[in-house]
């Protein structure tokens, strides 16, 4: 009785004594458990969201693929009848036309000669290409009505005339010295006479290329033209 009264009525017992370190350890263990629960819940929520997006993505791709397949199938169904019709049109055989008899005409020598005698019909330009033009190898000479000399220079002294004559001779041009009496005595170098106009012009051009001023003189020694260098 004395012991029971010492602890009071109702039989209540006091909590056992605990140190502060033990209390801190219990509180920390409880806090870590709560954090683990929150981390697990967060990962679970992220997994659910990620799974939802993956499923939605594949679902939309599957729908798009099915729509494309249906569209291609419909296009092929539309094109297939045209191809079949085209094949049917091509496959239709043509009716064989009856062969016509060939007309064989015998060619006799008289017929061949008659065909050869027919005049040829051709255009103007075609005729030019088929026509052969023959050109004479030698030019046709033009006869002068009066013979002409080529005067290759006039000098006041016989010495100057002889020097020019020698120079032209070295160049293959044969000239002769003639004396002309006017107010004074002149020595002229002449070549000719020429009856052919082409030969006359040829020799005159040769002398002009050698630096000689030439004149055309009739056989009466009358000057008719002066050459140009």
CATH classification at residue 212: 3.30.70.1070
Low-confidence ranges of the chain (pLDDT < 70): 1-30, 62-65, 71, 73-141, 220-229
In a domain, 172, yes or no: yes
In a domain, 125, yes or no: no
In a domain, 59, yes or no: yes
Task: Determine if residue 132 is left, alpha or beta; phi over 0 gives left, psi from -120 to 50 gives alpha, anything else beta.
Answer: beta
Sort 12 into a burial class: Cβ within 10 Å, 0-12 / 13-18 / 19+. exposed
Task: Determine if residue 97 is left, alpha or beta; phi over 0 gives left, psi from -120 to 50 gives alpha, anything else beta.
Answer: beta
Q: Specify the pTM.
A: 0.36
Please say which residue of 30, 62, 82 terminates a domain.
82
Please say which residue of 82, 105, 126 terminates a domain.
82
Per-residue pLDDT of 104-126, as tens digits, reads 555 555 555 555 555 555 555 55
Measured CA angle at 216 (ends 214, 219), to 5 deg: 135
pLDDT of residue 143: 87
Backbone angles phi, psi at 94, to 5 degrees: -85, 145
Per-residue pLDDT of 135-172, as tens digits, reads 555 555 688 889 999 998 889 889 999 999 999 999 89
Tell me the residue range of the domain where 63 lies: 22-82
Please say which residue of 32, 51, 82 terminates a domain.
82
């Amino acid at each position: 009785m004395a012991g029971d009264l010492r602890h009071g009525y109702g039989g209540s017992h006091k909590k056992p004594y605990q140190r502060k370190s033990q209390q801190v350890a219990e509180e920390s263990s409880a806090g870590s458990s709560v954090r683990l629960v929150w981390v697990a819940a967060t990962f679970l929520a992220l997994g659910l969201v990620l799974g939802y997006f993956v499923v939605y993505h594949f679902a939309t791709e599957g729908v798009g693929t099915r729509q494309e397949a249906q569209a291609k199938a419909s296009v092929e169904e539309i094109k297939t009848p045209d191809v079949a019709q085209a094949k049917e049109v091509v496959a239709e055989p043509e009716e064989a036309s009856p062969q016509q008899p060939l007309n064989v005409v015998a060619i006799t020598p008289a017929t061949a000669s008659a065909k050869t005698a027919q005049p040829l019909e051709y255009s103007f330009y075609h005729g030019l290409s088929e026509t052969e033009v023959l050109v004479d190898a030698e030019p046709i000479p033009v006869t002068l009505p009066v013979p002409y000399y080529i005067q290759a220079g006039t000098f006041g002294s016989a010495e100057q005339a002889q020097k020019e004559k020698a120079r032209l001779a070295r160049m293959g041009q044969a000239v002769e010295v003639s004396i002309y009496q006017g107010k004074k005595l002149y020595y002229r170098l002449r070549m000719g006479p020429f009856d052919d106009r082409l030969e006359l012009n040829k020799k005159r051009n040769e002398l002009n290329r050698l630096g000689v001023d030439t004149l055309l003189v009739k056989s009466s020694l009358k000057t008719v033209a002066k050459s140009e260098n």
